[in-house]
Amino acid sequence: MGQKPSIRCTTPSQASPRPLGQAPATPTRAPWLGWETGRTRVRSPGPVPKLPPGPKPPPHAWSSFAMPPALSPAPSRPLSLALPYLVPHRGRLALLGLVLVASTAVAVAAPQLLRRFVDRAADGAQTGTLLWAAAAFAGLALLAEALLVLGDALAARVAWSATNALRLDLVRHCLRLDLTFTQRHPPGALVDRIDGDVGRLANLFSRMVPLLVANGLLLLGIGVALLATDWRVALGYVPLVGGGVVLLRRLTRGAVPAATAQRAASAALLGRVAEHVDGLPDLRGAGANDVARRAFWRDAAALLTVARHAITLGVRWPAAAQGLASAGLLLALLAGAALHLGGHLSLGGAYVLIAYAGMLQLPLLHIAHQAHDLQQALGAWQRVAELLAERPSVLDGPGRLPRPAGGALGVALEEVTFRYAPGERPALDGVTLRLAPGRRLALLGRTGSGKSTLAGLLFRFADPTSGRVLLDGHDLRGLSGDSVRRRVGLVPQEVRIFHATVRDNVSLFDARMSDRQIRVAVREVGLGGWLDALPDGLSTRLGAGGRPLSEGEAQLLSLARVLITDPALVVLDEPTSRLSPAGRGALHAATERLLAGRTAVLVAHQLDTVRTADEVAVLADGRLVEHGPRAALLDDPDSEFSRRLAAGELTR
């Protein structure tokens, strides 16, 4: 198998958009397989005969994979997004509400007990009476602590249960989206949204929301208590609190968008770091460390700029909250002293005013200290809503692709044109061909000729801009993607090895696959001896921190992944270009076992692969310039296939 470098699990990097109508100056990467899709111009010898028309596909809202996914309007209020996740916990929420009401009642009642204590002490009450008042106050304090602990426990239970359900839905939603989505969102940014943003929402539900509700109830309770104490004080309390709420709302209006921008910049930086760590061997090999370092500092500088702006806006309303609290305490002192000296309020009543003012100050200060977390949480709401609003550009049809009676699928393309974006030059332009069940087709063409695009359409990574792709006469637009991928197996050139067991790497985490099926598939591709030598058999961990694999072992493992699904069509991007001669020999033997009795489309780079094909199709500049039996094209010295062989375009 040759040398054994470690095989890493990689993820496509973020694609850079191009202006519409402008072809890429250099070859780019196809979003579904990481294959090159540049452009070259080759003369076409003429049109290809059209196939007889088949059944029309059902109406489809998305006719082109090139169109960006539509974004539904994000929920304007957090509650509209949170409600479906909170409703299942309505029992606990009701109990939490009762706890908050009880806690507020206890907090409002405690100063009234102290008022009676002060007034009775001033009137010379007996020690026993004062001790009973002190005991009642101590009991209320203990009850308040118990309610606080119970409220925190209920809020945390509801918050983490609800946000874990949201996190699971986000993962499922992202897995349903097509692969252009991963091009626009690097893995680090997605992890930050699914885990980091949802974690901030958990903090919002478990701490900030109960705090805001409790403070609202407390403000209401203090207002009622002040009204019962002295109506003149209550009249001054209402505009103070109302004006404070309006002021804080105005000050926070600009802070939330700034916090959202800060989270987006942070996610971009994390995505950059994850991408560079994943591609570290390639960066070092190309001597691009300095380039990567400059890109990191650009993203870090962008984060610093938006973070400064967010912090500047964020400090205004905490300062205003502290100022309001201090003003309230000062007014309470002045009002209490004036009313007491004027004989309108007892000493205990004056104390109550100061106590309530202090109670008003503490919640405002607490909220002020949580200002940053509140900004981050509200920004996280917006980002999570935007993620849930993403829609795939390839939608499932109602049909299912049945298993062919003969075990192999027929393939047909009818006038297929495909563009990556409206206005761009087509990656495929009017391609028409047919491949009978059980036949092997070798796709030839220079870089950017459309080979990988055509292969991606067969796997329904995309739908054509116009024309039809049919498997056994079924238009793929009318079929579910899951049923297509159960019948079509894909062997990419670059293999992703997951940090998981051999069992999970072969079955791709499908628990329905038995150990016996996995062992049979592994042995069928020639890895039986390798499996027997593993210390823990199928439970041996591969990938980072596990057993390293050679290039050849990884490629054979990818064949086992496809073999275990028993596909009727195999799309194979020839993976032998980086293998030693011995490795290529083992892989060719395993590939022959995989392709036996199945239809195959081979993106060919090696002459040995072309020799195994029944038919050859030559693509140039997105057009099909030649298609026919391999032997006939080889015997014709004027064929495009023969000319390219003579020019040495296929390696041996």
Per-residue pLDDT of 422-475, as tens digits, reads: 888 899 999 999 999 999 999 998 888 888 889 889 988 888 999 999 999 999
566 and 623 belong to one structural domain: yes
The yes-or-no verdict on residue 32 having pLDDT over 90 is no
CA–CA separation, 160 vs 120, rounded Å?
Answer: 48
Supply the pLDDT for residue 363: 66
Closest residue by Cα to residue 577 from 587, 591, 569, 590: 587
Q: Report which of 491, 513, 498, 519 is spatially closest to residue 594, judged by C-alpha positions.
A: 491
Structure confidence by residue, pLDDT tens digits, 470-510: 999 999 999 988 888 889 999 887 888 888 999 999 999 98
In this structure, the answer to whether residues 475 and 576 fall within a common structural domain is yes
CATH number at 214 reads 1.20.1560.10
- Measure Cα distances from 606 to 312, 463, 600 in Å: 60, 29, 16
pLDDT higher than threshold 50 for residue 515: yes
Q: Which of 108-117, 501-510, 590-599 has the lowest mean pLDDT?
A: 108-117
Percent of the chain with pLDDT over 90: 20
**What pLDDT, on the 0 to 100 scale, is given for residue 257?**
76
Same domain membership, residue 370 and residue 423 = no
Confidence class of residue 561 from pLDDT cuts 50, 70 and 90?
very high
Lowest mean pLDDT among 207-211, 220-224, 628-632: 207-211
Tell whether 144 is covered by a domain.
yes
pLDDT beyond 70 at 373: no
Tell me which residue has tokens 């009204």.
227
184 found inside a domain: yes
The 10s digit of each residue's pLDDT in 277-299 is 777 777 776 777 787 888 888 88
Residue 254 has pLDDT above 70, yes or no: no
Please tell me the distance from the alpha carbon of residue 208 to that of residue 375, in angstroms, as a whole number: 11
Q: Are residues 200 and 276 in the same domain?
A: yes
Name 199's Cβ contacts closer than 8 Å, sequence gap at least 6. Answer: 163
d(CA 272, CA 289) in angstroms, rounded, equals 13
The domain boundary residue, chosen from 325, 356, 389: 389
User: Would the pLDDT of 29 be above 50?
Assistant: no
**Does the residue 469 lie in any domain?**
yes
Give the pLDDT band of residue 31 (cuts 50, 70, 90): very low
pLDDT of residue 530: 92
Q: How far apart, in whole angstroms, are the C-alpha atoms of residue 48 and residue 625?
A: 8
Q: How are beta strands 488-491 and 615-620 bridged, if at all?
A: unpaired
Burial label, 105 (beta-carbon count in 10 A; 0-12, 13-18, 19+): middle
Half-sphere exposure at residue 451, Cβ-oriented, CA atoms within 13 angstroms: 29
Rounded Cα gap, residues 263 and 551, in angstroms = 38
CA-to-CA distance for 201 and 82, rounded, in angstroms?
Answer: 10
**One-character DSSP codes across 15-55:** PPP--TT---SS--B-TTT--B----------PPPPPPP-P
Identify the pLDDT of residue 47: 38
Please write down the HEC assignment for all residues of 591-625. Answer: HHHHHCCCEEEEECCEHHHHHCCCEEEEEECCEEE
- Closest to 379 (Cα-Cα) out of 162, 203, 211, 250: 203
Radius of gyration (Cα) for the chain, nearest Å? 34
- Among 437, 442, 439, smallest CA distance to 609 is for 442
pLDDT of 629 strictly over 90? yes
Q: Is residue 193 part of a domain?
A: yes
pTM: 0.60
Q: In what order do the strands lie in the sheet with 615-620?
A: 488-491, 569-573, 599-603, 440-444, 615-620, 623-629
Distance separating alpha carbons of residues 491 and 604, to the nearest angstrom: 12
- Are residues 360 and 420 located together in one domain of the fold? no
Which tokens in the block code for residue 261? 């921008």
| Same domain flag for 154 and 229 | yes
- State yes or no: pLDDT of 333 exceeds 50: yes
- Looking at per-residue confidence, does 542 or 42 come out higher? 542
What is the number of alpha carbons within 13 Å of residue 188 lying toward its C-beta? 18
Whether residue 277 is found in the same domain as residue 185:
yes
Confidence of residue 552 (pLDDT cuts 50, 70, 90): confident
Number of domain units in the chain:
2
CA 646 to chain centre: 48
Asked whether residue 593 is assigned to any structural domain, the reply reads yes
Q: Is residue 83 part of a domain?
A: no
Q: How high is the pLDDT of residue 55?
A: 37
Choose the weakest-confidence range: 54-58, 181-185, 281-285, 310-314: 54-58
Domain that holds residue 351: 89-389
Q: Which of 333, 358, 389 is the last residue of a domain?
A: 389
Report pLDDT for 432.
Answer: 94
Contact (CB, 8 A) for 401 and 569: no
Together in a domain, 135 and 172:
yes
389, 420, 436: which is the final residue of a domain?
A: 389
Say how far apart CA 216 and CA 248 lie, in whole Å.
14
Q: DSSP secondary-structure letter at 151?
A: H
CATH number of the domain bearing residue 477 = 3.40.50.300
Q: Which residue has the higher pLDDT, 107 or 50?
A: 107
Residue 34 lies in a domain: no
Which candidate, 109, 141, 57, places its Cα nearest to that of 463? 57
Q: Which amino acid is at 463?
A: D
User: Is 583 in contact with 552 (CB distance < 8 Å)?
Assistant: yes
Q: Identify the pLDDT of residue 114.
A: 80
For residues 113 and 501, which has the higher predicted lDDT (pLDDT)? 501
Rounded CA-CA distance 487/407 in Å is 10
> Is residue 416 within 8 Å of residue 432, measured between CB atoms?
yes
629 & 486 share domain: yes
Q: Are strands 440-444 and 599-603 parallel, antiparallel or unpaired?
A: parallel
* Helix residue spans in 177-254 (DSSP H): 180-184, 187-191, 198-203, 209-229, 231-253
Same domain, 247 and 349: yes
Residue 429, classed as helix, strand or coil, is strand
Q: How far apart are CA 365 and CA 335, in angstroms?
A: 22
Residue 544 lies in a domain: no
Q: What is the pLDDT of residue 9?
A: 36
In whole numbers, what is the pLDDT of the chain averaged over residues?
77
334 and 436 in a single domain? The answer is no
Pairing of strands 440-444, 615-620: parallel
Range name among 183-197, 242-256, 580-594 with the lowest pLDDT average: 242-256
Q: Say yes or no: 569 and 454 in one domain.
A: yes
Strand partners, 280: none
Three-state DSSP class for 428? strand
Which pLDDT score, from 0 to 100, does residue 433 have? Answer: 93
For 319, list phi and psi in degrees, rounded to 5. -65, -40
pLDDT tens column, 76-85 = 455 677 788 8
Q: Which of the four pLDDT bands, split at 50, 70 and 90, describes residue 13?
A: very low
